[in-house]
Structure 1
Amino acid sequence: MHSDTFDSHAMAIYPELLEVRHDLFDNPESSGKEERTARVVANYLKKLGLEVKTNIGGHGVVGVLKGAKPGKTVMWRADMDAATFRMGAHGHQGLSHICGHDFNTTIALGIANTLSQDVDNLAGTVVFLFQPAEESQQGAKAMIADGLFEMLAVDEVYASHIGPSATGVISTKTGNLFSHSRYLEIELNGTDAAESIASDVHKIMNGLTRVSSPKLFFDLNNAMSLTHGLANPNTIYQDYVFFAGPPQVSTNNSRTVLFAELYTANKGDIDATVSGLKKQLDRREYRDRVHAVRVSHVRQGVDNDARLVDQAKQLLLARFGDQVLETYYGQVPFASEDFGHFQTRVPGVYFFIGASNAGKGIVSFPHMPNFNVDEKVIRLGVTRFSTLLYSRLKTD
């Protein structure tokens, strides 16, 4: 099949894919509770005739599409869970696909539908992996621990996520695509002067912060700026260390715990920053009260394979032109991904596909309060990524 044929099919199934997306959006499920979503996905794949495996690493679903001709195996991963977020003046929790996972899942189902129409000419196998618990960063590890790669011999793995670029524009880069992040907890004996200690720790954190142009950096609208953003070779988002706000304070049982999130562009800066924090604490008058400094919630991030990135970019340029491809030069701040756990086992590439439409006032920056998506991205994503996977099966 040719990309024009893929596009024709994507247009034909667009109405049914819209229904799927609206259904997922209306029925969001949080990390680890994606039972209904998994059922919708599994039923759709079964109707296409795929071999379907369920309950992998929780509510994970795998659909296997075997071509009539021999070849390698490529995997396409989509995340299914919704995100919890604070809303309203009192900070009540809500649940929504404010990250766009409903679109990620729908596009993957559309790719499965498209490629399943040409099984006779398909060389090799395409594995469609629908992952639970991405928001909690537990799903990828759970699926791997449940024997994913023992039951499937995979040669390459790919994924896409809704991003803030114009609708249909595909963005990626070699190597790390996201910030590295860790949770930090500083536990102190006693509860006296908790707020003043927290204020002092905040000063220490500010002293360890390293960002270019702070006013611009922390306004995430600048992530897409032509002069400062991720797609500019001189982006301000390629060398940074920062904490996500002042430490949160909690007291319990004669203990004080200060909590903060650390983000770095380069992985090596994590240990250096934590070491610097500990050295500063050792110099404070309250140093004898410091019971422990704990680092947790290790996020694997993304490490895109250089060869596969180059080959994917060449293919997309040849088939769709340079207007659909964008290279990132920095690491997305305030965000991470557990897709990298798959990449520790199999080389792969993670993409963003833009869904912003300036003419309609749609800005598709995940987790932002005004997050919205141009639904046309479904058809474009199905066409472009079907073309990519179909071509990868024929490429050594």
Structure 2
Amino acid sequence: MEIDNEKNNEPSDSEYDTAEEEPDIHFEKIKDPYINRIAEARKFNEGEVCDYYAFVPKGYYAEGEPLAFFESIKEKIADIYKKELALKGGLKIRFVLYAYIKKIKLETPEPLYKTFPFKHETIEIIREDQINATIEKGYNKIIDQIEDEALQKSGWSFVRAEEIFLEISIFRPLQGSSYLLLPEALDKPQLEIINPQNRDDNERNANIANFEGIKFPATLHNIDKFEESNPNYAINIFKLVYREAFGKIKVDIDLLHISEHNYQVEHMIDLLYLIEGEESLNDRKNQNDIPEGLKTHYVYITDFDRLDLLQKHILTCPGSNKASQCLILPEKIAVSYGYTIHCLDKTMQKPVINRESKNIIKDLMENLQEDLEVILDKLREIAPCEKMIPELWRKYQTANKC
């Protein structure tokens, strides 16, 4: 592993590694990709991967306390992320903490020691104001792993932090460009979805809104910047979802990006994000990881309530079927049912559950009717009267209410 020792205004080893000064942590850029990121070596050569490394010197004041350790280096990590974000425009980050852990075994006089890596899932950063919260989220995930009950039960405990790696990759948020046709299910005038045929990726009307600093095709990061420059606008992004139901492909719409300023602004805009072909954003582990060259496009949802028409129309119209006279009811498909029977003696029969039935409503009603007949038969039975004992008879005679 090669380390880039070119640092501006940073002290040399001889300057800070002295008996008079407290040992400190210094991050250095790794010239070659971290050994566990060999698969991304090609990207690194293109400037898309940039990792940093820091060694934790023995005697560092927070080495033995995970939370205090991360708090002590939080500002240094934030400075690195700010610099890389300015260069790359978007980051995917993760930090890996190599920790010294020990296990005490009764059968051995000395504890067992080993170095173990703790890491969290990849997190995206597209704005500088997200950096501190992202760092806290990452190190809290690692602390949760260190304090995990399974690790504690196995006998291992945290001793000290040894090394930390900052894994940084370039992150390209969603981009919309080039005209795409609407799916057939959405290409209906009554849905009031406007699909503009862009004459130019940079097509915009500067007289309506401020597009200064916005790159086209617009990314999610650009949308956040647009809202900052135009405080009277809030923009929500939706995506298509394809699902199979009874052998047929259905089209639905799901939320992809929601504005932080909804219901507080004059103009709230809903956009539908399309991609070419049959590829679905749900097929991707990272929904923002769109390959270069893939055509993408935004369309305008003028009336979100009109999308209820995507549901199957159940006719409730008297006479001729005119849309203005119809009540639109979405068709619901029952897939399972279940119920229990509670008895007066506070006992409960086990649940009745039926699944994978083609006539599920009919089966439910038939089962309920059968159980109801059993209950009514029991209620119709006349229980024999029992002779009251003298004590109960006296209570009955003196009672003034039931």
Which category of TM-score, normalised to the shorter sequence, fits these structures? Answer: under 0.3
TM-score normalized with structure 1 length: 0.24
Task: Return the structure number with greater relative CO, CA threshold 8 A, min gap 6.
Answer: 1
